Amino acid sequence: MAKPITRRWFLAQTAGLTTLGAVCPGCHFGASPNARVPNIILIMADDLGYGDLGCYGCTDIHTPAIDGLAAEGVKFTTFYSNAPECTPTRTALLTGRYQHRVGGLECALGIGNIGRYDDAIRLRQTNDMGLPAEQTTIARMLKDAGYATAICGKWHLGYEKKFFPLRHGFDYWFGPVGGAVDYFHHCEYTGQPALYQNDSTISREGYLTDLITEEAVKFIQRPRSSPFFLYVPYTSPHTPYQGPNDKKDQPVAQADYNKGSRETYIEMVERMDEGIGNILRALQDKKVSDNTLVIFMSDNGANNKGNNSPYSGYKGNLFEGGIRVPCIVKWPRVIPADTVSHQACITLDFSSSIVRVAGTKPPKDRPFDGIDILRAIETKQPVQKRTLFWRARRGENTRKAVRDGSLKYIRLQNNNDIKEYLFDLEIDPAEKNNLLSVREEDLRKLKLLLEDWEEKVNHNR
C-alpha cells in the first residue's frame, strides 16, 4: 500500500517548484520588443460574464469594439479574476500580489465604507480599511519610470483620501469612489455623492459610462512627450441596472438596486463597448494606436442577468462562472492578430507584464506573485501547468479554491457548515461531477498546496 501524502513530505518534494511567483522560461523583466516604450491602456468591465461578448460566443449582445480587439490580438480562454468580486481583484491588479498580503481587502468594501468580515471590520474601526499608499502599485512604478498616469473610472479601494488614487501614483482621477453608484445621479443608495475628480467630489450631468469614456478620451488627447498609462475601470454592467435612457427624477432606492432585466444589462454592455470604440478611435486620431498596448478584462463573473456560460456559478462564488472571465489583449507588431491562448492565467499576471513592457521592475521587497503572461504569448510558449489560488470572505462565509493543472478543489465554509468539491476541468469544465470521494490522493495534494499558500500570503497589518 502506498504511503499517504503528508504535508511535510509534499512540501519537501515541491521545494524547488514555484507556485506563487512561477515564471516560465523567458518570462523576465526587461526591455520591450518594441523600439519605443508603449503606451498602456487597461480597461476593466465590472461584473461582465465569460459569455457576454460576441467573440466568446454571445449572440444577444453586440460588442464590435471589443470583438475587434480580439480579432487584432489575443483572446484568453482560461483567464481568471483574482476574486469573485470587485475590491480584492482590483487590489491584486494594482499591487501585482495576492490581495491577502494587504489585509482587510478579501471582500468588496460595503457601500458607505462598511467592513464585511472580521479583518475588514477591525481596520474600519481605525479608518484603515483600504489600500495603503505603501503598497506600491503598478501606477507608481510606471510614474517613476516616466509615464503619465490616470484612472478614469471606479476606484473601490478605500473611502478615505489617504487611500485615493493620487496617493498611489496616478496623476489624475475621475470616477466613483465606491462599488456601486446611480449612473445618472452619481450617488450611492445612501444618498452620499460618490463621483470624484482627484480628491474632491464633483457634480456633472450625464450617464456614468459616457462620462468615464469622455474623460479617458480627453486624457489620450492631451499633448505630452512621455508615454502614458491609462486605467479605465468602467462600472458597467454592475448594478444598479440602468441603461443610457433610464434616467429618473430620483436615484435608485436600495430596495431596487438589484432589480433589472437582461435587456437593460445588454444596453449597459453595448454602451460600454461604444465607449471602448471611442477610446480606440482617439488612439488612431492621436496617431499612437500602433504603439499602444490595450488590455481588456472583467473583474469577476456576472450576476444572474449576465451570461457565464459554458460555466456554472455566478459572481460571489468560486465555481468557474464566478471567476473565469473574458480577457483580450491587442499589441500591434508584437502580438499576432486573431490569436487564442488557452494558458491558465490570473489578474495579477498582467501586473508583471505591464511593469516589464514599461521597462521597469517591482520593488525588491515586494516581489510579484504572477508570471509575465504577455511574454509567454510574445514568445509563443506552450501551455504550462499553473497553480492558482483563491480565498474570499464575507461575514461568516469563507470560500477557498485552488487550481493545479486541470484539477480544482473548492472549500465552502459557513460557520460550521463545510462543503467541498473536486473537479477535473479538462473533462468537466461545467463542474458537474464532484470527484471528492474517488480522487483522495489528489484531494490531499490540493489541500496541502492551499494550506501552504495561505501561510505565505498571511498579512501583518
Q: Is the dihedral of CA 185, 187, 193, 198 positive or negative?
A: negative
Catalytic residue among 24, 27, 156, 238: 156
Is 282 in contact with 289 (CB distance < 8 Å)?
A: no
d(CA 369, CA 102): 13
- Predicted structure pTM score: 0.92
Region 99-106: mean pLDDT is 97
* Sole residue written with cell 465590472: 46
For 255, the 3-state DSSP assignment is helix
What is the pLDDT, as a whole number, of residue 156?
98
d(CA 309, CA 302): 10
Q: For 178-230, how does the pLDDT look when each residue is reduced to its tens digit (9 = 90+)?
A: 999 999 999 999 999 999 999 999 999 999 999 999 999 999 999 999 999 99
Determine which helix (DSSP H) or strand (DSSP E) holds 268, and give its type and residue range: helix 262-285
Q: Domains in the chain, ordered, with CATH?
A: 36-384 (3.40.720.10)
Is 67 in contact with 55 (CB distance < 8 Å)?
A: yes
Written as nine digits, the cell of 455 is: 501561510
Q: For 105-163, how does the pLDDT look when each residue is reduced to its tens digit (9 = 90+)?
A: 999 999 999 999 999 999 999 999 999 999 999 999 999 999 999 999 999 999 999 99
Name 261's Cβ contacts closer than 8 Å, sequence gap at least 6: 241, 305
Active site residue 27: no
Query: Helix and strand tally (H, E) in the chain?
Result: 11, 16
> Closest Cα partner for 41 from 184, 157, 213?
213
The percentage of residues in the chain with a pLDDT greater than 90, rounded to a whole number, is 92
- pLDDT bin (cut points 50, 70, 90) of residue 36 is confident
* Mean pLDDT rounded to a whole number for the chain: 93
Is 369 in contact with 98 (CB distance < 8 Å)?
A: yes
Residue 240 preceded by cis peptide, ω within 30: yes
What is the pLDDT, as a whole number, of residue 460?
81
SS3 sequence, 106-155?
Answer: CCCCECCCECCCHHHHHHHHCCCCCCCCCCCCHHHHHHHCCCEEEEECCC
* Pairing of β 345-346 and β 79-80: parallel
d(CA 93, CA 131): 12
d(CA 369, CA 358): 18
Active site residue 152: no
Catalytic residue among 86, 107, 152, 187: 86
